[in-house]
Every structure is written in C-alpha cells, then in structure tokens.
Amino acid sequence: MTGLIFHLIPHTHWDREWYLPRAALQARLVGVVDDLIERLQADPGYRSFLLDGQTVLLEDYLRARPDREGDVRALVKTGRLQVGPWYVLPDEQIPSGEGLVRNLLLGSADAERLGGRLDVLYSPDAFGHPPAWPTLAREFGIRYGVVWRGLGGEAGQERDLYRWRGLDGKDVVLWHLPRAGYEIGAALPADAERLFAAWAPVRGPLVQRATSKHIPVFIGADHHAAHPDVPRLRDLLAELDPQSAFRVSRLDEFFQAAADGAKPASMGPGRPSSGGMPRPSWLWCAWPSPSRRWRGAREGATGGRRWSSRGERWCAPSSMTPSRAAPATTSRAPSSRASRASRRWRRRWCGAACTT
C-alpha cells in the first residue's frame, strides 16, 4: 500500500492513581516534564506532545515547579503541549454520569486556563465505555475520540476508524487503538541500523486496519519520558519507507486530515460498552494491584458512586455559580461555596474514581 501518511504522535501514559506510591510517581513526573519542556523548547521539529489527556498531571507538576508555569502556558498556547480534555482519566463505568461531566468540566477549565484544550476525547486505557460516550463528547464540543479496550474482536470491528453514534443520535469520529495499544511505537529507535527491524511489526498491523491513508503512530508508553528524538525518527522512517510520508502531528491534526474524505464504518448506538470483559470492570482493575489500588477500586465501585450521587444533589447547585470549573474567562469572582464544591470533586476524582 503506497501513498500513506503516518502521523507520529509523541505521548506518555500516566497511571497516577495506582502504579507507585504517590511521592515516587510525583518525583518521576517532575523529571519527565522538566525533560519534555526542554526538548520542546530546544527543537521546533519536535512539534507536539500529547500529555495523556488529563490535566491533573500539570496540576501536580506545577505544584512542584510553580516557576515553570510560563513555559507550560507558552507550549500549551501554541499547541505544542496537548492537554485535557479530562481532569483525570477515569474508569468510565464506575462513576456516575454526573461524575464524568464534572471531570470534563474541570479538565476543560484547567486546559483553557493554561492556553487551550485538546479537542479529542482521549480514553486510551479505560476498561470499556458507556453508550453515552459520543453524547458526552459532543456536549463538550468535541467531535473526535480515541479508545482501545471495549472494541474489536467481533464482526464489523476490524477497521481503525468509526463514526460512533450515541443514544441521542450525535456522533463522533473514533480512532480505535491497535491491539498493541498506545505503546505500539514506543520501541521505535532513532537509529538507522535498528529501525528496519522495529518498523515492520508496527507498520503491518496499522496498515492492515487502515480506513484512510492517514495513520497515527503513537510513540510512548506507561510512565515513560518523551522519546529522545522524534524528528530524527521521522527522517529515518522517510528514508526507510520512501513511498509513504511521515509527519510529527498533534492528535487533532491527524483527525482533521483523516476525517476529510474518509468513510468510517458506522457504529452504534450502544457500542463499545462492554469493555470486552465478562466481569465488572472494578474486579478487573483489582487484578494486578497493590492493596492501595484494590481499596481504591472497591471504594470507586461502591462509596465513590454513592458519593457521586450525593454530590449531584449537594454540589451541583452550588457549582452553578462561577467556580474553578467555569471557563477561565469568567470575570466574576468564584464563590467560596462553589470553590469548596469544586475542591471536593477534585479530591474525589483523585481518590477513588480514576483507575485506568
């Protein structure tokens, strides 16, 4: 297949809530973001970086490095650091619908305050998705999405690009991550001798499923620092595969290119909702976990949902007044009650609900 355009998407994935003790993961995050800022500033060819779709990573980083806020804002504003739209990446089947809405309100507000939101509903590691997922995206003005689990393995689910229709008829253009997920390109080296052997097993499965000539290649992995030289990797791939084109792209740039003239398969309403698993997602979450994650998952499945429904009754009305969840352009001062409500949502989202 010739004439393909591969979009290299540098990124990292961050299991903030469970992978390591909080202080250890925070120390790693600060080093990774320090390094990332320096790479982006030093090389304009390193056009962009996808910061895992969750703004809480920058909240954590700026708590440790408040002096870097200007650098972060400059990169976000120019689209070189893509942030949000989530506040945290949630397990989408544990919290209530209101919880998902609050999550996106907080994430969108934080991203806008820093310079701009990623307009792609990015769910790279959730264990399944509610049928209202396209509606949720469209309610926030988002037309594109990425998922991994919960789709594939059934007839009609062999391709990479879909038009997923929600229960209300609104739809999103959805890109389905391949079997290797968001780590598919993590091991591609900026080294001519080793790249030939590494590229073939990445290219093959991506091209086999391709709906359009535009194909994203995710370059990153769990808690990894940014790939050291994506511009060099792009140049080497172009030499290796001269019948294709290679770009370092933002995720939204890929969608804008792919959606133009492509005919994605139609899906829905109601798919993908199962997560591809026969068991409740909270059980699956508990499988590889230290006890902290097990407690978090259990709390998320029971207490978290209970708290969330209480939150709807007690916090939602007070949040109607301006708060941190409101757009950064709001000129009215936040009420203390609204701020308290917003802080409660943030605490709950960082406690029980996020388990991906």
**What's the min distance (Å) between Cβ of 15 and Zn ion?**
4
**What's the min distance (Å) between Cβ of 184 and Zn ion?**
15
Considering the complex, state which of residue 125 and residue 160 has its C-beta at the smaller distance from Zn ion. 125
Contact residues: Zn ion, CB under 5 A: 15, 125, 356
**What's the min distance (Å) between Cβ of 19 and Zn ion?**
8
**What's the min distance (Å) between Cβ of 186 and Zn ion?**
14
Considering the complex, state which of residue 184 and residue 195 has its C-beta at the smaller distance from Zn ion. 184
Active-site annotation holds for 34: no
Considering the complex, state which of residue 15 and residue 312 has its C-beta at the smaller distance from Zn ion. 15
Considering the complex, state which of residue 25 and residue 195 has its C-beta at the smaller distance from Zn ion. 25
Three-class DSSP labels, the chain = CCCCEEEEEEECECCCCCCCCHHHHHHHHHHHHHHHHHHHHHCCCCCCEECCCECHHHHHHHHHCHHHHHHHHHHHHCCCEECCCECCCCCCCCCCHHHHHHHHHHHHHHHHHHCCCCCEEEECCCCCCCCCHHHHHHHCCCCEEEECCCCCCCCCCCCCEEEEECCCCCEEEEEECCCCHHHCCCCCCCCHHHHHHHHHHHHHHHHHHCCCCEEEEEECCECCCCCCCHHHHHHHHHHHCCCCEEEECCHHHHHHHHHCCCCCEEECCCCCCCCCCCCCHHHHHHCCCCHHHHHHHHHHHHHHHHHHHHHHHHHHHHHCCCCCCCCCCCCCCCCHHHHHHHHHHHHHHHHHHCCC
- Residue nearest to Zn ion according to CB distances in the complex: 125
**What's the min distance (Å) between Cβ of 52 and Zn ion?**
9
Considering the complex, state which of residue 319 and residue 356 has its C-beta at the smaller distance from Zn ion. 356
Catalytic residue among 60, 91, 110, 125: 125
- Known catalytic residues are 125
